[in-house]
Amino acid sequence: MNLTDKIVWITGASSGIGEALAREFAKDGAKLVLSARRLDELERVKKSLNLPDASVLTLPIDMLKPEEFGAKTQTVLQHFGRIDILVPNAGISQREKFLDIAPADFKKLMDTNFTSVVLLTREVLPHLLAQKSGGILVTSSVSGKIGTSFRTFYCASKHAIQGFFDSLRGEVWREGIVVTVACPGYIKTNISLNAIGKDGKPFGKMDQNQAKGIPADVCARKMVNALKAGKHEIIIAGFKETLGTYLKRFAPGLLWQLTKNYSIKAVEE
């Protein structure tokens, strides 16, 4: 897949992996739609790309307001005339026990990480199908393959992402649509700081493994390369997380013994 002049719509583009993805797509000559809630941060990212103004559209979006997705999609089409690649990347994590999270908070997490992604895809996909070309590069997680304590709803949302896009791929590949699911492990971002914690408040602490994680730009480059190569899935993680995905498939009992106390220790520390 040649990305030159392709129109790439990235959600969660104001920080972390999303911001790094914007830079990587820009390096490959794409034109970008940058979406997140904070317009000032989107403008900061846009400025850092050193692209012509006409090549970058900043489009604020609230993933908890799916009723606006149709109008947002039309704004992109009016500006660029087409959409070639959708990158649903916005998300939120969790650092609290299942029974200690209020229903409103776990609904917020599931709606942000899964339902909104599906509904935005539903708006964009018909345009990709009409073109008989394009791609979807969605950010899942190693947590979409392995469940861990204190991450119940986060893991559930990412398992749902895996199942949905693996299924969707079977419906659209004949029409020239590439569906790539990226499964990052620990990436050096602020995801743990902003995770849902006690009483629904941000967790506010950096996980030690997150702080030592793979740089976001390295993760983004691997994701973009996987899309260009037409890969169905890519795991971007350290040795332990990658090993865990294999143990989950071939030796789940051993994985349980190795990980059953892991998340508890991480949160308590």
- 170: exposed, middle or buried (C-beta count within 10 Å: 0-12, 13-18, 19+)? exposed
- CA dist., res. 14 & res. 66, Å (int): 19
Tokens for 241, please give them: 């997380």
186 catalytic? Reply is no
CA angle, residues 212, 42, 38, in degrees to nearest 5: 90
Residues 6+ positions from 155 with CB-CB distance below 8 Å: 143, 144, 146, 147, 148
* Catalytic one of 154, 186, 246, 262: 154
DSSP letters along 172-193, please? HGGGTEEEEEEEE-SEESSTTT
Helical (H) or strand (E) element with 31 = strand 31-35
Residues 6+ positions from 53 with CB-CB distance below 8 Å: none
DSSP symbol at 64: T
- CA dist., res. 23 & res. 180, Å (int): 19
Residue 157: phi and psi, rounded to 5, are -65, -40
Contact 167, 187 (CB under 8 A): no
Tokens for 9, please give them: 């719509």
Active site residue ranges: 154
